[in-house]
Amino acid sequence: MGNTVVDLFAGAGGLSSGFMKAGYEIVAAVEYDKQIADTYKLNHPNTRLFINDIKNIAEQRSLANISADVIIGGPPCQGFSMAGARIRKNFIDDERNYLFRYYYDVIKQIMPKYFVFENVKGITTMENGEILNEIMSLFQDSKLLNGHRYYTYPYLFKTVDMGIPQKRERFIIIGILDKEINWNEVYETAKTNILIKYPSFFDKTTVWDAISNLADISDCDEFVVNPQTNYQKFLASDTGVVYNNNKPKHSELALARIKQIACGKNWTSLKNDNIKSIHSGSYGRLTKEGVSPTITTRFDTPSGGGFIHPTENRTLTPREGARIQSFPDDYKFVGNKTSIYKQIGNAVPPKLAYFIAEMIKVINS
């Protein structure tokens, strides 16, 4: 099978990690943030990493001579929503959409058999769906692609359906060069193939299934632990090593508030407190038997959402967040604390990426 991949907007490597687990080779990746790139390089030492802006990569044709079967990545969509009434004429040329434009340019330069375009759920409703229609029409226009076209298949994936204990939704377009498929057939075949290898892959998974064997462990950056649940076994390393379990520190005021919150409750439980909630789930405490809200870039901050540990008076460690995101235990994050939480919160869950990679195997067979 054709199994070479280029990862654009690689971040800490969530998409790459999932594709690697499925047997793909990540031949090149692009990430402009140096701290985040350090994490990527540490975990993907054999990948040619470009620490640069996608604009420079596209304009200098840095990847044009690299052969790749699949291009993966999600250009941030801040500019998409501002396209407004000019969408039909100038969408691809609007400087605010430059991240998408250069993603598209790189695809035109390499012409992979497949691409995976990842984005937030909101892109489906921007400008009443016109943004999404425009994106897909660009890939379907054979006049722009030397007589070729990509058949595009948009789908909103829910991570809970992948046995990930988190209410995250990611919008994915899989593009296929000059070939149509039956989406449902491919989806179900991929599911069947995965169940042969991992019978518990799609089982409903709780927060406690993910993080229970990290509880009561002293604050440390590296240690060995035994996996206890099927989910923990799926993410465990051969040596049992686990990284990045440093416990967040909180102010006395935040700690006093945290202690008042019962499982499943949030800031509305706080008595005689003038807290100005900046998030509806602020100071929310997770329940053992439930799933987490979407892990964000600020899951160490009590006011940032519902990320208080079910049994301890603190928010989640980076590793607990990474577990809920489905990163392997031996995936090590480097950088300052703010960057590490951002890396984890912004990532595509590797377990979801693995499923998408398995779908492409089915299409390619």
Of 235, 240, 225, 203, give the one whose Cα is nearest residue 322. 235
Binning pLDDT at 50, 70 and 90, where does residue 125 land?
confident
| Residue 220 falls in the annotated catalytic set | no
pLDDT of residue 87: 46
pLDDT of residue 98: 73
83 pLDDT more than 50: no
pLDDT of residue 134: 85
Q: Which residue has the higher pLDDT, 307 or 100?
A: 307
The 10s digit of each residue's pLDDT in 277-291 is 667 788 999 999 999
Across 98-107, b (16+ Cβ under 10 Å) vs e yields bbbbbbbbbb
pLDDT > 90: percent of the chain:
77
Residues forming a β-bridge with 35: none
pLDDT of residue 235: 97
List 15, 28, 77, 286, catalytic entry: 77
The model carries a pTM of 0.93
154 pLDDT more than 90: yes
Query: Quick one: tokens of 58?
Result: 């596209």
4-7 and 70-73 strand pairing: parallel
The 10s digit of each residue's pLDDT in 171-208 is 999 999 999 999 999 999 999 999 999 999 999 999 99
- For 165, residues 6+ apart whose C-beta sits below 8 A from its C-beta are 205, 206, 207, 209, 210, 231, 291, 292, 324
169-177 and 220-224 strand pairing: unpaired
The 10s digit of each residue's pLDDT in 326-343 is 999 999 999 999 999 999
pLDDT of residue 80: 59
Of 21, 20, 23, 25, give the one whose Cα is nearest residue 4. 25
CA quadruple 261, 262, 265, 269: dihedral positive or negative? negative
Phi first, then psi, for residue 40 (nearest 5°) are -60, -50
356 pLDDT more than 80: yes
What is the arithmetic mean of pLDDT over 239-244? 92
Instruction: Provide the 3-class DSSP secondary structure of residue 70.
Output: strand
- For 271, residues 6+ apart whose C-beta sits below 8 A from its C-beta are 260
pLDDT of residue 301: 92
Q: Which residue has the higher pLDDT, 348 or 277?
A: 348
